[in-house]
């Protein structure tokens, strides 16, 4: 296996205000042969506030073992709700997809057989790429002529709706708490901040744009969804709503609801439960922000700094490792592999 880090942007192409030296990238896991492989761009979740390592490399290696060249996207996040992402994360995902297509020889992939696979908020970003791929901003003229549309999308316990979902995800993305905006009568105000959403005049417009079940068209690629019925963080209704929209528009799709399991299951196996094989390269922006807080660049108090340093996901604190595998859910990679192979027309290996 060849493992290679690929920067998405040159230094002068990226200017997100809360980056503090971080630039988005993807980590490539490539076969060493000279064959052409199907590709999967993996987008971990984290509420648009961090990029989870537990949905990164272990997933990449699982699908690598099935013959894919895989790529884990480390995209821009809004850790402290200080700079809403708006179109920035979609721009990162679109740039990654275009880089894969432009580097087909380098990466040993078929540019017409690229799937995107996202978890939770990463599922929202993957679905945004499927729905809004034409809007993904691209300033490089050579890349702009390439499509950012995935050939297949795989959405794992995804955030889809802005009305029945994880509020923190939408706050980091848009800078909007929907319930507060409703109570305070701000829904028809002009949205604030850079990276505006295309065609959006009001806060209500941006919420609608980001509520992806309302944005599906006939151009959305075939889609595989899975969720658990007991997900307490992102209600299973998100997947039901998106599947219904796909059905309405005649999009080929497969929906699987497992009977139990918490949010964030990743592979749902012992490897996931034991935190095995999860390098923390996905937390680079979090570490940069934490160091900026320590230096005094953010003007936050000592308690906030302590919480950043001891964060269970990326800090130095002791993680509570009480996860338990859910055997019923462990079959989803095989189901996804069969779906992708059938849609894209290549032989299935197990």
Q: Does 245 fall in a domain?
A: yes
Helices (H), 72-221: 88-102, 104-107, 121-132, 141-144, 167-174, 178-183, 203-210
Q: What mean pLDDT is predicted for residues 37-44?
A: 98
Task: Return the CATH number at 174.
Answer: 3.40.50.1820
The whole-number pLDDT of residue 194 equals: 74
Is 143:257 a contact under the CB 8 Å cutoff?
A: no
Evaluate whether residue 293 is within a structural domain: no
Instruction: Give a yes or no: residue 291 inside a domain.
Output: no
* Residue 228 placed within a domain: yes
* Partner residues linked to 253 by β-bridges: 223
User: How many C-beta neighbours within 10 Å does residue 17 have?
Assistant: 10
Residue 131 has pLDDT above 70, yes or no: yes
The answer as to whether 286 is a domain residue is no
Split at pLDDT 50, 70, 90, the class of 349 is: low
Q: Report the chain's C-alpha Rg in angstroms.
A: 19
The domain containing residue 268 runs over which residues? Answer: 2-279+321-344
State the burial class of residue 229 (Cβ atoms within 10 Å of its Cβ: 0-12, 13-18, 19+): exposed
Q: How many domains does the chain fold into?
A: 1
**Strand (E) or helix (H) holding 62:** helix 57-64
C-alpha 60/C-alpha 266 separation (Å) is: 11
Average pLDDT over residues 258-286: 92
Judge whether 293 and 287 are in contact, CB under 8 Å: no
Question: Dmax of the chain from CA atoms?
Answer: 59
In a domain, 297, yes or no: no
In this prediction, residue 179 carries a pLDDT of 80
Query: Is residue 289 situated within a structural domain?
Result: no
**For the segment 95-117, what is each residue's pLDDT rounded down to a tens digit?**
999 999 999 999 999 999 999 99
pLDDT in tens, 150-183: 999 999 999 999 987 778 899 999 998 888 888 8
- pLDDT score recorded for residue 318: 57
Nearest to 82 by CA among 52, 53, 48: 48
CA of residue 6 relative to chain centroid, distance: 17
**Predicted pLDDT at 180:** 82
CB-based burial of residue 80 (10 Å sphere; 0-12 exposed, 13-18 middle, 19+ buried)? Answer: middle
Handedness of CA 45, 161, 116, 97 (dihedral sign): negative
């Amino acid at each position: 296996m060849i493992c290679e880090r690929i920067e998405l942007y040159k230094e002068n192409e990226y200017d997100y205000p809360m980056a503090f030296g971080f630039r988005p990238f993807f980590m490539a896991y490539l076969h060493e042969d000279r064959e052409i492989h199907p590709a999967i761009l993996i987008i971990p979740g984290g509420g648009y506030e961090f990029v989870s390592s537990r949905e990164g490399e272990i997933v990449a290696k699982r699908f690598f073992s099935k013959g894919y060249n895989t790529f884990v996207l480390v995209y821009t996040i809004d850790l402290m709700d200080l700079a809403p992402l708006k179109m920035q994360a979609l721009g990162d995902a679109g740039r990654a997809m275009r880089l894969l297509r432009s580097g087909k020889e380098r990466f040993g992939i078929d540019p017409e057989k690229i799937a995107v696979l996202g978890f939770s908020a990463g599922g929202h970003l993957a679905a945004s790429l499927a729905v809004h791929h034409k809007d993904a901003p691209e300033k490089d003229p050579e890349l702009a002529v390439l499509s950012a549309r995935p050939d297949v999308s795989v959405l794992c316990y995804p955030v889809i709706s802005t009305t029945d979902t994880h509020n923190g995800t939408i706050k980091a993305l848009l800078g909007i708490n929907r319930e507060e905006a409703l109570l305070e009568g701000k829904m028809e105000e002009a949205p604030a901040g850079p990276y505006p959403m295309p065609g959006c005049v009001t806060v209500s417009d941006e919420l609608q744009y980001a509520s992806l079940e309302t944005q599906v068209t006939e151009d959305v690629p075939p889609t595989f969804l899975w969720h658990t019925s007991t997900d307490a963080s992102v209600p299973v209704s998100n997947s039901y709503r998106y599947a219904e929209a796909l059905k309405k528009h005649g999009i080929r799709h497969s929906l699987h609801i497992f009977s139990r399991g918490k949010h964030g299951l990743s592979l749902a196996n012992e490897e996931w439960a034991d935190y095995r094989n999860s390098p923390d390269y996905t937390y680079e922006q979090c570490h940069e922000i934490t160091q900026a807080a320590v230096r005094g660049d953010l003007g936050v108090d000592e308690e906030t700094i302590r919480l950043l340093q001891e964060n269970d996901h990326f800090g130095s604190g002791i993680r509570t490792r009480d996860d338990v595998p859910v055997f019923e859910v462990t079959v989803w990679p095989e189901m996804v592999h069969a779906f992708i192979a059938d849609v894209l027309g290549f032989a299935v290996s197990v």
